[in-house]
Structure 1
Amino acid sequence: MSEGQSGSSSASNLPSASIIDTEMPSVSTSSETPSPSTSTEAPATATSSEAPSATTSSPGQIPANFTSNSVPSTSNSSTTKSPDKLEKEKKIDPMKLKILCIHGHKQNGAKFRAKLGAFRKIVDKYAYLTYITAPHAVADTTGGGDQDPRTWWYNTEDNSYSGKCLGGPAYGFEETLQTIKTGMDNLGPFDGLLGFSQGACLVGLLAAMQQKRLLPYRFRFVIIISGYLSGSLVHRGFYEHNIITIPSLHVYGETDSTIPKEMSECLASKFNDPVTFEHPNGHYVPVSGAVKAIYEDFLADMYQQRLIYRQEVERTAE
């Protein structure tokens, strides 16, 4: 994973929309209780360097640039699977958590999903995961990165990015905020956000902005993996005089040279009573060993809180 590597791209050629990939049914499962909506399976996520043009849809519907693999395809499915199996596949748990997953620099939503295969199995009991792709393209100068590498913003004058850069700009950040809002409008609300590396930095920023009531949507918890404080000058005000009160889980590597653990610990210190876990390795999403129980315990707590909240809402409505 190439968070610390920089890439270049012409700002004038930025794509106008993002790609969002989801394995979540179209029925809302957040702590809010909007009416369910249904949709057939959308086309596969695009992988070209140009993102698809913006689509329009009413909140709760899945536009063409969203995909779902939790609801079976309607094409020829009845000829290949028994009715009992189809009914089982269509069944969803409306109480499951909904989590928006935000990839790192030089990744994209589809690749991030592929790299989270083992993580998905761990959290499947508690959550549906949705994957969103950053709006800005970057050049892979190493030749070994992901296809269609993306970034959430640039923090240098030459439109590159480094997590260790201090005092730079945040070119493209407004487009990123709009991308996240589009995801929230079309598939949200979400109970939580999960981010890795630059995506974890973005999750920390969004949590800080929510604490200051600067966002038009809300979420209830965050999972931050290899996260850090943004060094961009325009972001500093979000962290000032601000203790973030929502539940948070912070996972980082002892030997991470891309985002040293001290950077992750500094971000964790901005949260009230954060749950932290330090694994012995480097810059990736760990899924084996003791961290598995950490993920499960944290999400079990968030799941239980959601059940309690729903029960309180139902009692109030009686």
Structure 2
Amino acid sequence: MRILCLHGKGTSAAIFRSQTSSFRAQLTDKDIEFDFLDGPHASNPAAGVDLFYGPPYYSWYEGDGIEAAREAYDWLKDYIAKNGPYDAAMMFSQGCVLGSSALILHQEETPDLPPPFKSAIFICGGPSLGVLGEMGFHVSAEARERDIASRSALELQARSSSLMAKGADRWTGLGALTGGLSEEELRNEIKSPYRISIPTVHIYGSKDPRYPAGVHLSGICEPEKRRVYNHGGGHEIPRTGAVSNSIAELVQWALKESQAS
């Protein structure tokens, strides 16, 4: 079985390989090939990344417009045509934006063709609100405000060595980003004319500034085909045994569902 791996903005395939090493170590006895690839654009490092990892750094696209998303989708389609097929895609942060946009654009433009991958594992990332708006989704003003605020909060809480030295304690003051809403209430901030129909896994942390975005993404996927997991941390993949085991189990579930579908 093969998994396409899409890193976050301002990181790289090598960095994403390192970030996922703990839970992938629980899967070494499985017949799984992880295909980590670099984005097509050179990028500045994501906030705090250069404190732990050296260059180069990449992104899948620059900007948030629909044209940038379409260009990235076309690039991804070409890569998959040459190197696929894939049973699943595993994505982090901006990789989630690309992967969810690819599924939505595919469903809108070529619904009679197989999707670019059979299941999706989204980690600490949300959808492109610009793509959703173009595709007929109703995105509330509250969801847009949370998206802007969460991006700013992530930048502030990960940009310096003094903050990073605090570890998990740097993820503070996030209650204002959710307004005290439950996950289901957050999901209802975006109204979907249709949903991503493949099996999906949604892994996010309740201390992550981008937590609302991760919940929003889960809301545009089929409830009967999704699994959600709150690892309790920030914009990261915790390496504890309990978290690693849980994520490994979810990866196996996604692959099993991809074969069933």
The answer to whether TM tops 0.5 is yes
Which residue of the partner structure matches residue 205 of structure 2? 253
Rounded Cα–Cα distance in structure 1 between residues aligned with 2:47 and 2:230: 29
Secondary structure in structure 1 of the residue aligned to 2:244: helix
Cα separation, partners in 2 of 1:173 and 1:212, compared to 1, 3 Å? closer
Rounded Cα–Cα distance in structure 1 between residues aligned with 2:122 and 2:253: 16
* Displacement of 1:149: 1.5
Match status 1:227 vs 2:139: no
Query: Any idea what the Cα deviations from partners look like across 1:82-131, whole Å, max 9, x if unmatched?
Result: xxxxxxxxxxxxxxx21100000101112222332223212331521001
Which residue of the partner structure matches residue 264 of structure 1? 214
Cα separation, partners in 2 of 1:306 and 1:208, compared to 1, 3 Å? closer
Query: Any idea what the Cα deviations from partners look like across 1:170-224, whole Å, max 9, x if unmatched?
Result: 5643442233123212221001111100111211112222333548763210000
- For 1:196, which of 82, 88, 92 is the aligned residue? 92
Which residue of the partner structure matches residue 185 of structure 2? none
Identity percentage over the alignment? 24
Rounded Cα–Cα distance in structure 2 between residues aligned with 1:191 and 1:207: 14
Match status 1:102 vs 2:6: yes
Task: Tell me which moved more, 97-106 or 174-183.
Answer: 174-183
- For 2:39, which of 134, 159, 168 is the aligned residue? 134
- Could you list the runs of 5+ residues in structure 2 that have no partner in the other structure? 138-192
Task: Tell me which moved more, 300-309 or 177-186.
Answer: 300-309
Which residue of the partner structure matches residue 37 of structure 1? none
Rounded Cα–Cα distance in structure 2 between residues aligned with 1:197 and 1:141: 11
> Amino acid of the residue matched to residue 120 of structure 1?
R
CA contact (8 A) 2:10 2:46 kept: no
* Displacement of 1:270: 0.4
Rounded Cα–Cα distance in structure 1 between residues aligned with 2:89 and 2:120: 5
Task: Tell me which moved more, 104-113 or 140-149.
Answer: 140-149
Query: Any idea what the Cα deviations from partners look like across 1:38-79, whole Å, max 9, x if unmatched?
Result: xxxxxxxxxxxxxxxxxxxxxxxxxxxxxxxxxxxxxxxxxx
Which residue of the partner structure matches residue 61 of structure 2? 153
> Amino acid of the residue matched to residue 44 of structure 2?
A
Matches within 5 A, 1:69-218: 97-124=1-28, 125-140=30-45, 145=50, 146-155=54-63, 169-170=65-66, 172-214=68-110, 218=115
Which structure has more RCO (C-alpha within 8 Å, separation ≥ 6)?
A: 2
Secondary structure in structure 2 of the residue aligned to 1:251: strand
- Could you list the runs of 5+ residues in structure 1 that have no partner in the other structure? 1-96, 156-167, 310-318
Cα separation, partners in 2 of 1:236 and 1:280, compared to 1, 3 Å? same
* Displacement of 1:235: 4.9
Paired residues in the alignment total: 198
CA contact (8 A) 2:200 2:254 kept: no
Which residue of the partner structure matches residue 242 of structure 1? 194
**Higher alpha-carbon Rg:** 1
Rounded Cα–Cα distance in structure 2 between residues aligned with 1:291 and 1:152: 27
Secondary structure in structure 1 of the residue aligned to 2:86: coil
Query: Any idea what the Cα deviations from partners look like across 1:123-146, whole Å, max 9, x if unmatched?
Result: 331521001111111234979624
Cα separation, partners in 2 of 1:301 and 1:278, compared to 1, 3 Å? closer
CA contact (8 A) 1:184 1:217 kept: no
* Displacement of 1:255: 0.8
Rounded Cα–Cα distance in structure 1 between residues aligned with 2:120 and 2:136: 16
* Displacement of 1:289: 4.1
The TM-score with structure 1 as length reference comes to 0.55
CA contact (8 A) 2:125 2:213 kept: yes
Rounded Cα–Cα distance in structure 2 between residues aligned with 1:307 and 1:143: 38
The TM-score with structure 2 as length reference comes to 0.66
